[in-house]
Chains A and B, each alone.
Chain A
Amino acid sequence: MNNNSLSISIPGISWQKFQSLIAILLLSALLAMLTDNFLTTENLWNVLRQISVNVCISVGLTLVILTAGIDLSVGSVLAFGGAVTAGLLKNGVEVPAFNLFLEFTVMGAIIAGLSVSTFLGWINGIAVTKLRIPSFIATLAMLTMARGLTMLWTGGFPITGLGDSFTFIGTGWLLGMPMPVWITAVVVGLAMILTNKTKLGRYIYAIGDNEEAAYLSGINVKRVKMIVYSLGGLLAGVGGLIVTARLDSAQPNAGFGYELDAIAAVVIGGTSLYGGRGTIMGAVLGALLIGVLNNGLVLLNVSPFWQQVIKGLVILIAVGLDRFQAEGTE
């Protein structure tokens, strides 16, 4: 018996990973030939920095999708989390009831922003488990509500001038690596431990695979789903911090449409929308493929309109291949 006998091993997924990896390498090789500046250290860090937000969101989304759910609210939750952090940092908050004015340190503002995003995710979880609203609808409602809250909080104007110690999160370097990449690496590492090594991770796969069997095995299905949706909100909040810090500005329309890029990354990475099958690494590679593609198309001066068409085609091909293989093996 080999040592990994208990690691998540799902047929098709390793090949899937391999497949996205090959696609990334082929694409990179092509871009290296066609352009002068693709294969430069600066550009490669640039790619990683650009995909970091999508990776954070995609990791949270993968957890939700593994339980056979979906979270469409990530883009709006990202915006609200970022705006709350920026607003508290810049303006503090007044509590009229106690005649209090609270100022926030960078750490305090970050914690507040992340708490708020987690809370919105938790509400998604309540809607899905307690109110039994399909996740597509529940998180669609949250997409609208969180965007509205962001507009209310910011008054529709960007909050800028957040100070160097905060923008360091988005623009700084540490030990030769950009901060957003550090943050993303930690998120990915923790998520891999969660899915592969913890009991909770096993329950997440089990629920997505067969919810009734999971229930009859004693798994508290509702609690696991609550945790998963909350984590989805938290990771959207982390994305919000990176976006806000990188631009030194909380934009009221930040994160618009990010849920689509995240779904694309998760799906290209081989995670099944029916739940139970997929990996964190898959989502990372999916986000990387989209990132390299975006970067390459810009470097090649392809018109933004064509960029969208090509991105759509890549999603179709990636998922089409997956289906094709699934039919072959069954």
Chain B
Amino acid sequence: MGKGTQETPILEAKHISKSFAGPLVLKDVNFSVYPGKVTALIGENGAGKSTLMKILSGVYTDYEGQVVLRGDPVRFDNPRQAQEAGISIILQELNVLPNLTIAENIFLGREPETAYGTVDKQQLRKDSKRYLEMLKMEATPETKVSSLKVAQQQLVEIAGALSYDAKILIMDEPTSALSDTEVEILFDIIREYKKQGGAVVYISHKLEELFEISDEIVVMRDGEIVDTGHTESFDRNRIVKGMVGREARKVFIRKKADYGEEVFRVSDFELFLKRETGDCNLHDISFSVRRGEIVGIFGLMGAGRTELLEGLFGAFPKQSKGTIFIEGQQVAIRSVEQAIRAGMALVPEDRKTQGLFLGMSVSQNLTLAALVSRFPGVMAPEARERELVTDYINKLNIDTPSPTKPINQLSGGNQQKVVISKWLATQPNILFLDEPTRGIDVNAKREVYELINQLAEAGKGILLVSSELPEILTLSDRILVLANGTITADMDREEATKEKIMHAAIPNR
């Protein structure tokens, strides 16, 4: 491990461990922040970066170990206390109130008061102006935040953090919504802030940014800090090696498969979604899936994995274009219904918000997609539905006392099996699986892996999206990597390594 620096840290985490009802997400972590330095923190999704930062900034109060501020142990009860002690955090998601003005946002809850107890607008404007000038923003303090672009809203948030007179500024992927020029402005601010003795923790996936702005680099993996050192001592390889680790544990071995003919092909797919949290722009996407083949798609947070699957599935007919072939036949997919009828199925990423109808029964959840695509007529075919439900409860070993039980009384793993059954019931040829094992326990995970394997053996084409590298490596026959809005790598399982995948997944600015 590289040695950090001889200076005294302003903030330290000592032997921090943390779990969320289950395995440890942080294991005995030691982490230091120094005045006048930018410490970059990098790691795979779920490595524990955000958890650690949330502990340092008082968001999580339940942890083992010690936080030491300027040599004294502290324990914050809430983010406000941390802020008052000089630690501000800027989260990935925007935390501004769009209907208030810039000035009101910066000084929210701490507005200067007049002698009568009303807000001193003069003072508020004067104070805000100082920060706007610092951030080189042209907008007046009275501008409503909702009329600003996302990047500028982000700057307002940064101004808010600075206004606490923060000595330590934590930024969690602050540039994901910023343009290049705006990133430069942000970096100028960070450099100025450093000069005045401020300490910065900077989380980002963008290596070029880290090399440009940071003084120290800390690499995390699986809840541990695996590498630290001066930024000059790092190169891309050293970071990637730290992020992915050496050993690839395999709990499940995918059997060698025989592929059939091509079942799915997309060429020149494009998707543009305008969104508050940053636009999603996918382009030049072409690939194919054969019968019996599992194609894994890996990408870091924000790469557009889910959007790609939903786009191919006809969920954004107006914002996407491209040509899709199913079993060699070109098909027009302008709606989800057409996609299902063409033999596609999508097990969505977020079970609760996109997959399940929590007020409905197991049975009703299971048959809904088949009702749309497979059963003609006006009436719900109850007898055939019952058959279908019994069939899948047995086949997938779904643990439910009765098909009429409300779905919300089942465990996460069983709920996921119902969602998968719902899609198998449409008799698809090509299955899109978006994070199929998120939030389910180890045993259910194994069952889901085996099920995916069986489906491939039964001749279905499978497109698997996962943010867990081991999952991708375990299941996939071929691996595509999504970054910079397009596919940056396409490799067979034999040639795929964690390093290669991670190299392709880290976006260029």
A5-B403, A9-B404, A215-B315 known; A197 vs B357 contact (CB < 8 Å): no
Q: Is B379 an interface residue (CB 8 A)?
A: yes
**B359, A216: Cβ atoms under 8 Å?**
no
At the interface with chain B, which of A85-93, A183-191, A198-206, A233-241? Answer: A198-206
**B359, A209: Cβ atoms under 8 Å?**
yes
Q: Is B380 an interface residue (CB 8 A)?
A: yes
User: Please, which residue of chain B has its CB at the minimum distance from the CB of A219?
Assistant: B372
Q: Is A1 an interface residue (CB 8 A)?
A: yes
> Bound state CA distance, A123 and B437, in angstroms?
44
**A209, B368: Cβ atoms under 8 Å?**
no
Shortest distance between the CB of A120 and any CB in chain B (Å):
25
Q: Is B481 an interface residue (CB 8 A)?
A: no
> Bound state CA distance, A210 and B422, in angstroms?
15
**A210, B379: Cβ atoms under 8 Å?**
no
Interface flags, A1-45, vs B, CB<8A=1, else 0: 110111011110000000000000000000000000000000000
> Bound state CA distance, A218 and B333, in angstroms?
12
> Bound state CA distance, A5 and B402, in angstroms?
8
A215-B336, A218-B337 known; A198 vs B379 contact (CB < 8 Å): yes
**A199, B385: Cβ atoms under 8 Å?**
no
**A218, B373: Cβ atoms under 8 Å?**
yes
A216-B310, A218-B372 known; A199 vs B358 contact (CB < 8 Å): no
Q: Is A213 an interface residue (CB 8 A)?
A: yes
**B358, A209: Cβ atoms under 8 Å?**
yes
**B404, A5: Cβ atoms under 8 Å?**
yes
Q: Is B382 an interface residue (CB 8 A)?
A: yes
**B357, A209: Cβ atoms under 8 Å?**
yes
- B346-374 residues at the A interface, CB under 8 angstroms: 346, 348, 353-361, 363-364, 368-369, 371-373
**B373, A202: Cβ atoms under 8 Å?**
no
Best-surrounded residue of B356, B364, B406 (most CB of chain A within 10 A): B364
**A5, B386: Cβ atoms under 8 Å?**
yes
Q: Is A212 an interface residue (CB 8 A)?
A: yes
Interface flags, A162-181, vs B, CB<8A=1, else 0: 00000000000000000000
> Bound state CA distance, A5 and B360, in angstroms?
12
Give every chain B residue within 8 A of A202 (Cβ-Cβ). 364, 368, 371, 380
Give every chain A residue within 8 A of B340 (Cβ-Cβ). 218
**A6, B353: Cβ atoms under 8 Å?**
no
User: Please, which residue of chain B has its CB at the minimum distance from the CB of A206?
Assistant: B357
> Bound state CA distance, A214 and B354, in angstroms?
8
> Bound state CA distance, A99 and B269, in angstroms?
57
A1-B386, A199-B379, A202-B368 known; A218 vs B336 contact (CB < 8 Å): yes
**A210, B356: Cβ atoms under 8 Å?**
yes
Q: Is B99 an interface residue (CB 8 A)?
A: no
Q: Is B469 an interface residue (CB 8 A)?
A: no
Give every chain B residue within 8 A of A301 (Cβ-Cβ). none
Give every chain A residue within 8 A of B378 (Cβ-Cβ). 198-200
**B368, A206: Cβ atoms under 8 Å?**
yes
Partner of B402, one of A1, A276, A277: A1
> Bound state CA distance, A198 and B371, in angstroms?
10
**B360, A201: Cβ atoms under 8 Å?**
no
Partner of A209, one of B336, B360, B375: B360
> Bound state CA distance, A8 and B357, in angstroms?
13
Give every chain A residue within 8 A of B313 (Cβ-Cβ). 216
Partner of A217, one of B359, B385, B403, B422: B422
Give every chain A residue within 8 A of B385 (Cβ-Cβ). 6
**B336, A217: Cβ atoms under 8 Å?**
yes
Q: Is A220 an interface residue (CB 8 A)?
A: yes
**A210, B358: Cβ atoms under 8 Å?**
yes
> Bound state CA distance, A199 and B372, in angstroms?
8
**B380, A198: Cβ atoms under 8 Å?**
yes
Shortest distance between the CB of B380 and any CB in chain A (Å):
5
Partner of B380, one of A201, A218, A220: A201
Q: Is B335 an interface residue (CB 8 A)?
A: yes
**B402, A11: Cβ atoms under 8 Å?**
no
> Bound state CA distance, A213 and B336, in angstroms?
11
Q: Is B390 an interface residue (CB 8 A)?
A: yes
**A212, B353: Cβ atoms under 8 Å?**
yes
Give every chain A residue within 8 A of B364 (Cβ-Cβ). 6, 8, 202, 205-206
Partner of B368, one of A5, A8, A10, A217: A217
Give every chain B residue within 8 A of A209 (Cβ-Cβ). 357-360
Give every chain A residue within 8 A of B346 (Cβ-Cβ). 216
Best-surrounded residue of B353, B402, B403, B404 (most CB of chain A within 10 A): B404
Q: Is B324 an interface residue (CB 8 A)?
A: no
> Bound state CA distance, A295 and B371, in angstroms?
45
Give every chain A residue within 8 A of B389 (Cβ-Cβ). 5
Partner of B386, one of A6, A9, A11: A6
Give every chain A residue within 8 A of B465 (Cβ-Cβ). none
> Bound state CA distance, A202 and B371, in angstroms?
9
Give every chain B residue within 8 A of A219 (Cβ-Cβ). 337, 368, 372
Q: Is B479 an interface residue (CB 8 A)?
A: no
A210-B356, A218-B340 known; A5 vs B363 contact (CB < 8 Å): yes
Shortest distance between the CB of B171 and any CB in chain A (Å):
31
**B354, A212: Cβ atoms under 8 Å?**
yes
- B215-265 residues at the A interface, CB under 8 angstroms: none
Give every chain A residue within 8 A of B354 (Cβ-Cβ). 210, 212-213, 216
**A199, B380: Cβ atoms under 8 Å?**
yes
Interface flags, B400-444, vs A, CB<8A=1, else 0: 001110100000000000000010000000000000000000000
Give every chain B residue within 8 A of A216 (Cβ-Cβ). 310, 313, 315, 336, 346, 348, 354-355
Q: Is B448 an interface residue (CB 8 A)?
A: no
User: Please, which residue of chain A has its CB at the minimum distance from the CB of B371?
Assistant: A199
> Bound state CA distance, A205 and B361, in angstroms?
11
User: Please, which residue of chain A has its CB at the minimum distance from the CB of B406?
Assistant: A11
A9-B361, A206-B368, A218-B369 known; A213 vs B337 contact (CB < 8 Å): no
Give every chain B residue within 8 A of A6 (Cβ-Cβ). 363-364, 380, 382, 385-386, 403-404
User: Please, which residue of chain B has its CB at the minimum distance from the CB of A202?
Assistant: B380
Give every chain B residue within 8 A of A11 (Cβ-Cβ). 406
Q: Is B339 an interface residue (CB 8 A)?
A: yes
> Bound state CA distance, A209 and B357, in angstroms?
6
**A217, B386: Cβ atoms under 8 Å?**
no
> Bound state CA distance, A198 and B379, in angstroms?
4
> Bound state CA distance, A214 and B360, in angstroms?
12
User: Please, which residue of chain A has its CB at the minimum distance from the CB of B313?
Assistant: A216
User: Please, which residue of chain B has its CB at the minimum distance from the CB of A221?
Assistant: B336
Give every chain B residue within 8 A of A2 (Cβ-Cβ). 404
> Bound state CA distance, A168 and B340, in angstroms?
50
6 pairs, A vs B, C-beta closer than 8 Å = A198-B379, A199-B371, A199-B379, A201-B380, A216-B346, A218-B336
| For the complex of A and B, 4 pairs with smallest distance between CB atoms | A218-B372, A209-B357, A218-B337, A218-B340
Q: Give 11 new A-B contacts, CB below 8 A, not counting A6-B404, A210-B354, A276-B357.
A: A6-B380, A6-B403, A199-B372, A199-B380, A206-B360, A209-B357, A213-B353, A216-B310, A218-B372, A219-B368, A276-B359
On B, residues with C-beta under 8 Å from A are: 310, 313, 315, 335-337, 339-340, 346, 348, 353-361, 363-364, 368-369, 371-373, 375, 377-380, 382, 385-386, 389-390, 402-404, 406, 422
